[in-house]
Amino acid sequence: MADTIMTATTDKMKKAEEALQRQLGQIRAGRANASLLDRITVNYYGAPTPINQLASIAIPEARVIMITPFDKTTLKEIEKAIMASDIGLNPANDGTVIRLVIPQLTEERRKELAKEVKKEAETAKVAVRNARRDAMDDYKKQQKNGDITEDDLRNAEKDVQTLTDKNIEKIDAIVAEKEKELLEV
């Protein structure tokens, strides 16, 4: 039973880290990144379809995303979906491909984005701490019910705290990498 608690806690913490990486992938850092388009769906024959299922996405230059539709008739729909999205980029359509040019970030905007990154990191850390609290509560219930001894409880709490510390360190490393990416000129 104790192992299932640890497994569930590990899964919750891993999901918090993955969610953070997804969120940070959405933050534009002044260079092209295909994950900017992940949330955008195109109305394709009445069904909302992700762009990456309708076109190949390439990054020919550091600040350019090139979208080449598999079916040329979807070009206008993809362009409309990008314009309607919240990514703030204007697509350039040349009849066969769509190019998205990522503008250079201003110093002020870089600092704003760094603050946003810190906010996302704090959300992830809170999720990790909540997973730790839930695990500790579960272990305490088991000890109260007589399923585990006091020594087992102390060992389990130590293991959960070690796992929590490792995950917080991973989150800090991910955030430091993103901040470095944002703040380097």
Q: What is the CATH number of the domain that holds 40?
A: 3.30.1360.40
CA atoms within a 13 Å half-sphere pointing along the CA-CB vector of 24: 28
User: Are 13 and 74 found together in one domain?
Assistant: no
Helix (H) or strand (E) holding 125: helix 107-145
How many domains are there within the chain? Answer: 2
pLDDT digits (tens, 9 = 90+) for 97-114: 888 888 777 788 788 888
Residue 161: the pLDDT is 93
Note the pTM of the prediction, 2 decimals. Answer: 0.66
Query: What distance in Å separates the CA atoms of residue 43 and residue 37, rounded to the nearest whole number?
Result: 15
Contact (CB, 8 A) for 56 and 32: no
User: Are 120 and 168 found together in one domain?
Assistant: yes
Residue 128: the pLDDT is 93
Residue range of the domain that includes 114:
2-26+106-183
